[in-house]
């Protein structure tokens, strides 16, 4: 009998491994090769000299980033904005899923659910066009309406304080219908006998929601939240760069790690330092994913991704 070596295994199932090969090559090239590029974080990187030719400079890139004050700002913004998104989006999703579950008219339910889901299909660029339509300084509908009521228009694009709220609204608009589908599917799976028993005991509609539906939804909400917290170090480039772009007046509240790195890359300011920031994000993100996944597993068996 042949020894169970790598070659014998592969040749025995050569077609299967052949089918897997292009996918493996894809991940090798586009995900694993960049991981070797992490060395750039420890180098004084110069495009002309390439990765290997550029001189090492130890932890200088990290020192520079953490002493510039930007490190704290973008990390805080990333975590703060993402926390806001998690809280408000989850609230809207659960709220409308429960409301829709009460609707008995199936045509009404189908139509409104389709309408709520529609924003999910819009790119952030479309959303930025919408933002210009409402808030644009010259032709935006909101300022024109304020003007016609005798008020001064609001300088949206130079008022950083307003933007966390605006971004939350945009995100809620885009993601509510998406979550409604997920939560509604969960609610539909609940055992109907809970509700029947409650009705016999004289529970009203609101009591059923607060004492049956919400407690039953709790595991799903917690698991989805834990998993979202695991990704809290990753800013939404699409949302933030798509809408804020390079508007430096809004950076104090909206600049996140990803947009900071993206800008550094686009202006090719200091690639060594931006790689260092990216590494800081990847490592923190990795740790947080592991922790959140442990928590999810602890909370509910099979609740985690892995």
Q: In this structure, what token pair is assigned to residue 292? A: 């959140």
The DSSP result for 119-149, as a single string, is GGGS-HHHHHHHHHHHH-TTT-HHHHHHHHT
195 binds another protein (CB under 8 A): no
Would you count residue 291 as binding another protein (CB under 8 A)?
A: no
Cβ 80 to another protein shortest distance, Å? 21
* Residue 178, Cβ density class (10 Å: 0-12 exposed, 13-18 middle, ≥19 buried): middle
User: DSSP assignment of 53-82, as one string?
Assistant: HSPB-TTHHHHHHHHSSHHHHHHHHHHHHH
Q: Which of residues 52-81 bind another protein (CB under 8 A)?
A: none
Which residues lie below 8 Å from residue 74, measured CB to CB, with a gap of 6+?
Answer: 255, 256, 257, 259, 260, 277
Scanning 66-74, 79-87, 193-201, 286-294 for contacts with another protein by CB under 8 A, the matching segment is: 286-294
Stretch that binds another protein, among 118-126, 156-164, 191-199, 248-256 (CB under 8 A): 118-126
* Cβ neighbours, 10 Å, residue 152: 8
- Does position 35 bind another protein by CB under 8 A? yes
Size of the site for another protein (CB under 8 A): 100
**Cβ–Cβ < 8 Å for 261, 274:** yes
Q: With binding defined as CB under 8 A, does residue 132 bind another protein? A: yes
Place of tokens 């060395």: 39
Shortest distance in whole angstroms from residue 116 CB to another protein: 6
- In angstroms, the CA 1 to CA 3 distance is 6
Rounded CA-CA distance 170/153 in Å is: 20
Query: Which range, of 63-71, 74-82, 136-144, 159-167, touches another protein by CB under 8 A?
Result: 136-144
Judged by CB, which is closer to another protein: 12, or 298?
12
Taking CB under 8 A as the criterion, which residues in 78-117 touch another protein? 96, 99-100, 102-103, 108, 111-112, 114-117
Q: Which of 11, 68, 83, 123 binds another protein (CB under 8 A)?
A: 123
Residues 211-230 within binding reach of another protein (CB under 8 A): 224
> Quick one: which segment of 69-77, 79-87, 158-166, 234-242 binds another protein (CB under 8 A)?
234-242
């Amino acid at each position: 009998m042949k020894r169970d070596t790598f070659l014998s295994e592969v040749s025995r199932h050569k077609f299967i491994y052949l089918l897997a090969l292009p996918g493996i090559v894809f991940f090798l090239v586009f995900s694993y090769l960049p991981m070797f590029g992490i060395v750039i974080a420890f180098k004084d990187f110069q495009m002309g000299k390439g990765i290997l030719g550029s001189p090492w400079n130890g932890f200088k890139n990290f020192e520079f980033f953490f002493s510039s004050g930007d490190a704290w700002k973008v990390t805080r913004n990333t975590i703060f904005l993402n926390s806001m998104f998690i809280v408000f989006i989850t609230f809207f999703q659960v709220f409308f899923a429960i409301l829709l579950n009460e609707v008995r008219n199936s045509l009404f339910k189908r139509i409104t659910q389709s309408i709520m889901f529609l924003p999910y299909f819009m790119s952030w660029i479309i959303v930025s066009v919408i933002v210009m339509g409402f808030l644009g300084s010259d032709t935006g509908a909101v300022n024109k309406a304020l003007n016609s009521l005798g008020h001064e228009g609001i300088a949206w694009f130079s008022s950083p304080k307003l933007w966390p709220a605006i971004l939350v609204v945009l995100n809620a608009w885009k993601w509510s219908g998406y979550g409604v589908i997920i939560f509604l599917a969960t609610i539909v799976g609940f055992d109907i006998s809970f509700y029947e028993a409650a009705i016999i005991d004289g529970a009203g509609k609101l009591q059923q929601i607060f004492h049956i539906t919400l407690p039953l939804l709790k595991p799903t909400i917690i698991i989805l939240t834990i998993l979202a917290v695991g990704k809290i170090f990753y800013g939404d480039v699409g949302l933030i760069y798509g809408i804020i772009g390079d508007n430096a007046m809004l950076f104090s509240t909206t600049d996140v790690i990803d947009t900071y790195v993206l800008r550094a890359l686009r202006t090719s300011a200091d690639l060594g330092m931006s790689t260092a920031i990216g590494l800081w994000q990847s490592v923190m993100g990795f740790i947080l994913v592991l922790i959140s996944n442990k928590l999810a597993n602890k909370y509910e068996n099979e609740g985690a991704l892995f």
